Amino acid sequence: MKGDPVSFKVRIREWMHNHREEGTSLLQDMVRLPSTQGNEREVQLLIAGKLRGLGMDVEVWEPDGEALEAHPFFYSPRSRFIGSPNVVGIWRGSGGGRSIILNGHMDVVPEGDAGQWHDDPFSGKVADGKLFGRGATDMKGGIASLLLAVQAVRELGIRLKGDIIFQSVIEEESGGAGTLAAILKGYKADAALIPEPTNLRIFPKQQGSMWFRIEVKGRSAHGGTRYEGVSAIDMSMAVIAHIRELEETRNATVSDPLYASNPIPFPINIGVIKGGNWPSSVPDTVTLEGRFGVAPEEKLEQAKEEMIRWMERLKEKDPWFEEHPPAVEWFGARWVPGSVSLEHTFIRTLSEQYREVLLQEPVIEASPWGTDGGLLTLLAETPCIVFGPGVTEAAHYPNEYIKLDHVFEAAEIIALTLIEWCGLEGKGDGDGD
């Protein structure tokens, strides 16, 4: 740490300690508002108010669906965003420093089967040092870390040279239209940080992903003579087994050491199945929906082609597929993969603050999921690193939670990173010290 290193580190830690209750309460407030797709407004107004309270210039706007639809990287199951605003807050530096985008999505996936939750899925309950609720880890906990970091720097009277651009976006879970809308507004910076749940690991590479839909055909018949029909459910099992083989094939060749500890670097997930409409009939159609993981250096189009070619080989498994090839459609969400060089200064800066705060070496890995970072890196020319307090084992699960200690540790590391990266007013370039 340059400037007044010990002092900053100590003062920020002390600030976090004194704001433990306030920060927890802020996160509870966010989790208790169920901001699933289409229901983002209340959380966004809460965050906008918080940013204004920090003295930021705040912009709140509902993305223009028509304008977005014209963009090749737009993907969403919807094209109207009325009632679903984006929020950006800017804290302008005094000039001469490096700017940073702090980006977090506040949309959450649905809670799923409520019966599998021990409490209300949006309880915000605190127990054993954890805060529970849909979105706690993915990624309102990360947003809380960002807000705490900015607030700490601000309230400690630290003045930075570079701009801080805080983006609270919608639609990450459905393809990144919120971040895309912010990029199209012209927001860019010298680096970006997204505190998605990495369990405090640093992810310079991130998996991309795409949603697919497969329609598997059967031939209907009366269930009492089911042997006269062809069950689309049986056929969908063959399709799923075939897709498993593609997943194995694609992952067998991964040699990137950043994925060394990942059992399936680029999974193909079947998330939804639906078919048939009568218990006594042999079902004639089954629809599968899933997520296709794309490697950081892979192009989306390459991955699509590989999938399509693979599906054409289904007929080798069962002659039924020769005449009834399942139709593959790419729909809804896609996340562009991203990769920032391991030599990038921002990784070094973040890693140094990690060591300062946690007194150990950071783990640098590749992200097992897509984030909006791919869009920032590719379209906004803003190299994006993913680093946050949640854990993927909790994301999208029932009883999602986040460890509060991690929220405040991440906030400390991020606050110090802001100071180091953006530079102290009146000091030389932090990077050069």
Chain positions contacting a copy of itself, by CB under 8 A: 109-110, 112-113, 116, 138, 173, 207, 209, 211-212, 219-229, 231, 233-234, 236-237, 240, 263-264, 267, 269-286, 289-291, 293, 332-333, 367-370, 392-393, 395-398
Least spacing, CB of residue 181 vs a copy of itself, in Å? 20
Rounded distance between C-alpha atoms, residue 147 and residue 389, angstroms = 13
User: CB of 233 within 8 A of CB of 385?
Assistant: no
Nearest C-alpha neighbor of 312 from the set 251, 247, 239: 239
Closer CB to a copy of itself, 248 or 433, in the complex? 248
Least spacing, CB of residue 416 vs a copy of itself, in Å? 29
User: CB of 201 within 8 A of CB of 367?
Assistant: no
Least spacing, CB of residue 138 vs a copy of itself, in Å? 7
Least spacing, CB of residue 212 vs a copy of itself, in Å? 8
As given in the structure block, the two tokens for residue 403 are 């460890």
Rounded distance between C-alpha atoms, residue 81 and residue 55, angstroms = 27
Q: Which of 172, 365, 372, 412 is catalytic?
A: 172
Closer CB to a copy of itself, 187 or 212, in the complex? 212
Least spacing, CB of residue 111 vs a copy of itself, in Å? 10
User: CB of 3 within 8 A of CB of 11?
Assistant: no
Least spacing, CB of residue 429 vs a copy of itself, in Å? 37
Closer CB to a copy of itself, 400 or 409, in the complex? 400
Least spacing, CB of residue 70 vs a copy of itself, in Å? 24
Rounded distance between C-alpha atoms, residue 391 and residue 400, angstroms = 9
User: CB of 340 within 8 A of CB of 347?
Assistant: yes
> Number of C-alpha atoms within 13 angstroms, CB side, residue 416?
30
Rounded distance between C-alpha atoms, residue 49 and residue 82, angstroms = 19
Compute how many other C-beta atoms are within 10 angstroms of the C-beta atom of residue 341: 10
Q: Catalytic annotation on 172?
A: yes
> Number of C-alpha atoms within 13 angstroms, CB side, residue 16?
26
Rounded distance between C-alpha atoms, residue 183 and residue 67, angstroms = 13
DSSP of 225-245: GGGGSB-HHHHHHHHHHHHHH
Q: Which of 40, 107, 138, 372 is catalytic?
A: 107
Closer CB to a copy of itself, 94 or 392, in the complex? 392
Closer CB to a copy of itself, 25 or 269, in the complex? 269
Compute how many other C-beta atoms are within 10 angstroms of the C-beta atom of residue 215: 17
Q: Is the peptide bond before 307 cis (omega within 30 degrees of 0)?
A: no
Nearest C-alpha neighbor of 371 from the set 87, 85, 105: 105
Closer CB to a copy of itself, 229 or 423, in the complex? 229
The DSSP call for residue 66 is: H
State the distance between the two ends of the chain, measured CA to CA, in whole angstroms: 9
Closer CB to a copy of itself, 80 or 222, in the complex? 222
Closer CB to a copy of itself, 163 or 172, in the complex? 172
Least spacing, CB of residue 236 vs a copy of itself, in Å? 8
Backbone dihedral region of 24: left (phi > 0), alpha (psi from -120 to 50 degrees) or beta? Answer: alpha
Active site residues: 107, 172
